Structure formats: C-alpha cells, structure tokens
Amino acid sequence: MKVYTKTGDKGTTGLLTGERIEKDSIRVEAYGMVDEINSALGLARVWCCKDDTKDIIYNLQKMLMMVMADLASINKDTHYIKEEHVKQLEQYIDTIDAQLPPLNEFIVPGGNAGAAALDLARTTTRRGERQVIKLSKQEVVNEQVLIALNRLSDLCFMLSRAELAQD
C-alpha cells in the first residue's frame, strides 16, 4: 500500500466518517493541533527519566488518537472520548499532586529535558484547546473532548513538576 493517495492534492482531506472537507478548515486545524500535542508528548516520553511518567504519557498518546478520531468525525451518534477518560486524567493529576510538595511560587519552564518537553506539550495543549473551542462555536464538538484537553494541560504541568522532583 502506498503512503500517498493523491486524493488531497487539490486541498481537501477525508474525515474519518467519509466526508471531504478543506484542509484549512477549523476542524482540520483542531485535530492537527491534537496531532502536534501527541508529537510533543512523544518527545517528552523520550526525554523523561521516570518510568511511571513515561507510562502515563504513552497512555495519553493513545487517548489523543481517540480525540483526533472524535474531531475527525461529524454526524456520529457515539463519541470516542467519554467521561471516564476525563476521570482518568483527573486521577492522574490527583495522584501526582498528592506526591508533590505544595506549590507556592511560579515555575520557570525547563529544569531538565523531560520537564521542558512536558512544558512544551502543556503550551501546545493550551493552543489546541483554544482551536477546539473555536471549532465548537461553529460546529458540534464532543464536550468531553474540550474537558479532556483542559485536564491534559493541567496533567502536563503536574508531570513536569513530578519529573523535576527528587526521588
């Protein structure tokens, strides 16, 4: 099977549900941003030192594939991202938070390569969240996707802090 299909040569792309839309549509921008988040997390996974952080990131990357599937689908009765995905993100955040000292000052991004990559993933997630919000003002978007992206940026922050914490 060839990688190229030539179906997008005139500026359109196919959605998961079969419709063809312009490549510069807000919907394509939204799931493209999620793809960027996934790549940023991939970089973070390579640079992080803690195995539990790497495991969480890998699970996040798999979830982001479902977020992209949700955003690349229209007129579907079912969604890929559900409330239990959001609850899992919140559980990760709460678990990490319980292991860290209270935060009482701003953190300058960086500190080590893993934390810096997670900081990049956090800011990329914020940008992606803004793009999905923009899409939701024009088209139907699974509300759980918006919530998941919001929690994901918080989780990236917590993972960055955990990566910097001394064992």
* CA 150-24-77 angle, 5° bins: 55
Alpha-carbon distance values, 79 to 14, 63, 87, 121, 143 (Å): 18, 13, 16, 24, 10
The string of pLDDT tens digits covering residues 90-124 is 999 999 999 999 988 888 888 999 999 999 999 99
Domains in the chain (CATH in brackets) are 22-96+109-164 (1.20.1200.10)
- Do 87 and 29 meet the contact criterion of CB atoms below 8 Å apart? no
Query: With a cut of 70, which residues of the chain have pLDDT below it?
Result: 166-167
pLDDT of residue 166: 64
Q: What is the pLDDT of residue 12?
A: 80
Residues 101 and 143 sit within 8 Å (Cβ to Cβ): no
What would the pLDDT profile of 61-74 be if each residue is shown by its tens digit?
A: 999 999 999 999 99
